[in-house]
Amino acid sequence: MSVRIDLLPKKKYVMPGNSACAGCGMMIGLKILGMALGEEAVLSIPASCASVVQGLGPKSGIAMPILNVPFASAASVATGISEAFKQLGVNGKAVVWAGDGGTADIGFAAVSAAAERNSDVLYIMYDNEAYMNTGIQRSSETPKGAWTTTTPTGKREAKKDVALILLAHGVPYVATASIAYPQDLYRKIKRASEIRGFKFIHLFAPCPPGWLFDPSLTVEVARKAVETGAFILWEYDNGEFKLNPPSSSLVDKKRRKPLTEYLKLQGRFAHLTEEQIRQMEEEIDHKWEFLLKFAQAASRR
């Protein structure tokens, strides 16, 4: 069930003239977060692109209440905010908006702890697959084979699947989303905010300067990642696991587009040999198999 575009709020939650790069994928996600939660959201943002794009004080490029917090602390700060809301009887939502480095690497202990406590927090990890604002250093979310400034011949290790790790914590809601499917993201944020407890959304957000593609292709790259099966859209909601469209019709790998359609758009994969691409395809098949089996095991219904 998708939300009609003309019924989405028209208020600007991302202010024009902010400091984000042209064609920033994450800003599309922030826009949708604003539309979904509006002024009810209080954001904790650790060091990341998201803290840079706000621009220079006394102006802010994001029209939501924000606490800019130290790198590893975002999930803990949001826990504190949600507890304060509870004590004061304030109707607000504690939201973390953190990058992949601030979540999967540096902030991971705090994220895991907040999930284990089942703190009433909506944690959104926007995943641009490297440390972009400091100069494209690899993170544990960088996919295997991708160029970054610290992996000049391509990363050797595989991408960490944080969403599944969080699911294994036994939290009520975990989902993946992509900026190419904003209505799906909107619905997931709305749904997650209705649930008490720890909610996690893994948001795929391409980065034109970091992934080396033309800024006009941000949405195209995100869409191709889903259509080729490299990124899978799914949702786990209180014991029920399901794939979301269009991933739900891509279980049969013959229906997926060739992986090269996704890879060839980006300079960071330009050095890959045919053999390496074939290996990547195999790993994607394995990821699907693993996810579907995991899903079966995780579903209580």
Partner 1 sequence: MGLALVPVSRPAPGSGGLTGTWRTLRPVVNLDKCIDCGICWLYCPESVIDWEKGQKIKIDYTYCKGCGICAHECPTKAIEMIPEAGL
- The binding site for partner 1 (CB under 8 A) comprises 5-6, 8, 10, 12-25, 27-28, 31, 53-63, 182, 208, 214-220
Q: Are 152 and 207 in contact (CB under 8 A)?
A: no
- Give, for 133, the enclosing helix (H) or strand (E): none
Residue whose CB is less far from partner 1, 57 or 89: 57
Residue whose CB is less far from partner 1, 180 or 201: 180
| Tokens linked to 11 | 């208020």
Residue whose CB is less far from partner 1, 227 or 281: 227
Q: Are 239 and 299 in contact (CB under 8 A)?
A: yes
Residue whose CB is less far from partner 1, 125 or 205: 205
Residues counted in the chain: 301
Shortest distance (Å) from residue 203 CB to partner 1:
14
Shortest distance (Å) from residue 97 CB to partner 1:
15
Shortest distance (Å) from residue 278 CB to partner 1:
30
| Sign of torsion over alpha carbons 82, 64, 112, 166 | positive
Q: Are 94 and 79 in contact (CB under 8 A)?
A: yes
DSSP state of 105: I
Q: Are 248 and 184 in contact (CB under 8 A)?
A: no
Residue whose CB is less far from partner 1, 31 or 138: 31
Shortest distance (Å) from residue 146 CB to partner 1:
22
Residue whose CB is less far from partner 1, 49 or 115: 49
| Tokens linked to 4 | 């009609």
Q: How open is the CA angle 231-234-240, to the nearest 5 degrees?
A: 160
Q: Which of 44, 28, 46 is nearest to 36 (CA)?
A: 28
Beta bridge partners, 242, equal 235
